[in-house]
Amino acid sequence: MTEPTVPENKEERTNLVQAIQTPLRFFGLVVLVVEVIFGIVARSTEGPERLYLIIGMISLIFALVLIVAFMAFFRPEALQGNRYISETIAVSELREQLARIAEEKHEMAESAKQDISELREENRALKAELRFYRSLKAQLLGLFASGEKLHLDQIHRTLNNQMTEDISKNDILAALGELAEEGKIKAAGLSSYYVKVDT
């Protein structure tokens, strides 16, 4: 038998270590190293010791074959250096992910329901406000039917007497502004008087 050569520099050792990336390669390297050591020792001994070393070398090879066969049958991915993940672990992780997704979907659905509810309330409030302004504009046009000039205070008093709810001057001014934009009334001068526009 020839004696093993030791790598001469660090680069060769680094390449050797980098080549051992899987358990199968590691087992192979261990067997080769042990076989070389047994071979060197067997060469320098005689008699029954040499026989025991040769039997040990053969036994080591068979043991490695059995270990690799066992791993290839039960954990083939381990020979490639991949970590074994049992089906129960994978299923439990998948269940956890599905539970998180379901919880997020539920939270999003609840948030969407709340947003829809708020939008409906806002829509009802806007419709009520629109009805109020339409009614107020109709009342104002009824006041201007006589064609006389009306003052804001006079309009305010009359409307509050006619309508059940209290109407602010700001609401009246907003309705008067809309009627003026529509061309149905106009301001009479710089004062707070308004007059119907003749059509």
For residue range 155-181, list pLDDT tens digits in order.
888 888 777 677 888 888 888 888 888
User: Which whole number is the average pLDDT over 56-84?
Assistant: 78
Report how far residue 75's alpha carbon sits from residue 79's, in angstroms, rounded to the nearest whole number.
Answer: 7
**Higher-confidence residue: 181 or 118?**
118
Q: What angle do CA 1, 31, 74 make, to 5 degrees?
A: 150
Q: Which two tokens stand for residue 11?
A: 């680069």
Highest mean pLDDT range out of 19-33, 58-72, 111-125?
111-125
User: Which whole number is the average pLDDT over 2-17?
Assistant: 58
Q: Is the pLDDT of residue 117 over 90?
A: yes
User: Which class for 185: exposed (0-12), middle (13-18), buried (19 or more C-beta within 10 A)?
Assistant: buried
Q: Is the pLDDT of residue 34 over 70?
A: yes
Distance between start and end Cα atoms, the chain = 123
CA distances from 1 to 29, 35, 36, 42, 149 (A): 18, 11, 9, 10, 127
Q: What pLDDT is recorded for position 18?
A: 63
Bridge partners (DSSP) listed for residue 196: 185
How is the chain split into domains, by residue range?
10-79, 87-196
Pick from 91, 106, 88, 168: nearest CA to 133: 168
Query: Is residue 4 within 8 Å of 13, Cβ to Cβ?
Result: no
CA distances from 130 to 111, 133, 162, 171 (A): 28, 5, 19, 12
What CATH number has the domain spanning 87-196? 1.10.10.10
**Kind and range of the H or E element at 131?**
helix 87-143
Report how far residue 195's alpha carbon sits from residue 197's, in angstroms, rounded to the nearest whole number.
Answer: 6
Query: Is residue 64 within 8 Å of 31, Cβ to Cβ?
Result: yes
Q: What pLDDT is recorded for position 126?
A: 93
User: Which whole number is the average pLDDT over 18-47?
Assistant: 78
Report how far residue 106's alpha carbon sits from residue 89's, in angstroms, rounded to the nearest whole number.
Answer: 26
